[in-house]
Chain A
Amino acid sequence: MWRYIAQRILVSIPVIIMVGMITFTLVYIGPGDPAAIIAGDEATPEILEQIRADLGFDRPFPVQMGDWFWKLLHGDLGTSYFSRREITELITPRLQPTLSLGFQVVVLSTIIGITTGMLAAWKAGSRLDRNLMVLAVLGFATPGFWLAFLTIWIFAVNLGWFPVIGYSPIQDGLFAHIHSLFLPVMVNSILASAFISRITRSAMLEVLREDYIRTARAKGASELSVFLRHAFRPSAIPVATVIGASIAGLATGFVLTETIFAIPGLGRMLVDAIVRRDYPIIQALLMVVAIVLIGVNLIVDILYAYIDPRIRY
Chain B
Amino acid sequence: MTEPLLKVENLQTQFRTEGGLVKAVDDVSFEVQPGETFALVGESGCGKSVTALSIMGLIPNPPGEIVSGKIEFNGVDLLKLSGREMREIRGSKIGMIFQEPMSSLNPVLTIQSQLTEALRIHTDLSKNATNDRAVELVDMVGIADAKTRMKQYPHQLSGGQRQRIMIAMAMSCTPQLLIADEATTALDVTIQAQILDLMKDVTEQSGTALLIITHNLGIVARYANRVAVMYAGQLREVGEAVEMYTEPRHPYTIGLLRSVPRLDSEKGTPLAPIAGEIPDLTNLPSGCAFSPRCGWAVDKCFEESPLLEETSSGKKVACFEHQSVALNVQ
Contacts and interface: CB of A to CB of B under 8 A. Distances in A.
Given A211-B98, A212-B103, A310-B155, A219 B91 contact: yes
B169 interface: yes
Interface string A177-220: 00000000000000000000000000000000011101111111
Interface residues of B, number: 29
B90 A220 contact: yes
Contacts of A221: 87, 91, 117, 121
Contacts of B32: none
Interface string B115-150: 001100110000000000000000000000000000
Contacts of A102: none
A233 interface: yes
Contacts of B56: 218
Contacts of B89: 220
A218 B156 contact: no
B98 A217 contact: no
Interface string A218-241: 111110000001100110000000
Contacts of A233: 108-109
Given A218-B56, A220-B118, A313-B156, A234 B96 contact: no
Nearest to A125: B62
A211 B104 contact: yes
A67 interface: no
Q: Chain B contact residues: over half helix, strand or loop, or mixed? A: mixed
A117 B288 CA distance: 49
Nearest to A212: B106
Contact of B104 (A215, A234, A308, A309): A215
A36 interface: no
Interface string B70-111: 000000000000000001111110011010100111111100
Contact of A220 (B92, B108, B153): B92
B122 A212 contact: no
Contact of B106 (A218, A222, A234, A313): A234
Contact of A215 (B108, B121, B156, B166): B166
A220 B88 contact: yes
Given A211-B100, A220-B118, A221-B121, A309 B90 contact: no
Contact of A218 (B96, B107, B108): B96
A130 B108 CA distance: 30
Contacts of B122: 220
A294 interface: no
Contact of A309 (B92, B118, B121, B155): B155
B58 interface: yes
A212 B92 contact: no
Contacts of A210: 103
Contacts of B106: 212, 215-216, 230, 234
B117 A218 contact: no
B90 A214 contact: no
A112 interface: no
Interface string B156-181: 10000000001001100000000000
A220 B121 contact: yes
B153 A219 contact: no
A236 to B, nearest CB: 9
Nearest to B94: A218
Contact of B107 (A214, A217, A220, A310): A310
Contacts of A215: 98, 104-106, 166, 169
Contacts of A313: 153, 155-156
B109 to A, nearest CB: 7
A307 interface: yes
B87 A309 contact: no
Interface in A260-313: 307-310, 313
Contact of B118 (A212, A214, A219, A222): A219
A220 B109 contact: no
Given A220-B118, A220-B122, A221-B117, A309 B108 contact: yes
Nearest to A213: B106
A217 B104 contact: no
A220 B100 contact: no
Contacts of B169: 215, 219
Choose among B87, B104, B106 the residue with the greatest number of A CB atoms under 10 Å from its CB: B106
B184 to A, nearest CB: 16
Interface string A46-62: 00000000000000000
Nearest to B121: A220
A216 B109 CA distance: 11
A308 B107 CA distance: 7
B285 to A, nearest CB: 32
Nearest to B86: A220
Choose among A218, A229, A233, A308 the residue with the greatest number of B CB atoms under 10 Å from its CB: A218
Nearest to B92: A220
Contacts of B95: 218
A218 B91 contact: yes
B90 A218 contact: yes
Nearest to A230: B106
Contact of B108 (A214, A217, A222, A308): A308
Contacts of B170: 218
A233 B170 CA distance: 23
Nearest to A217: B58
Q: Rank and list the top 3 A-B pairs by shortest CB-CB distance, nearest first.
A: A220-B91, A219-B91, A211-B103
Given A217-B58, A308-B108, 15 more contacts: A211-B103, A212-B103, A212-B104, A216-B117, A218-B58, A219-B118, A219-B121, A219-B169, A220-B87, A234-B107, A234-B108, A309-B155, A310-B155, A313-B153, A313-B156
14 contacts: A211-B100, A212-B104, A215-B169, A217-B90, A218-B90, A219-B91, A220-B87, A220-B118, A220-B122, A222-B87, A234-B106, A309-B155, A310-B155, A313-B153
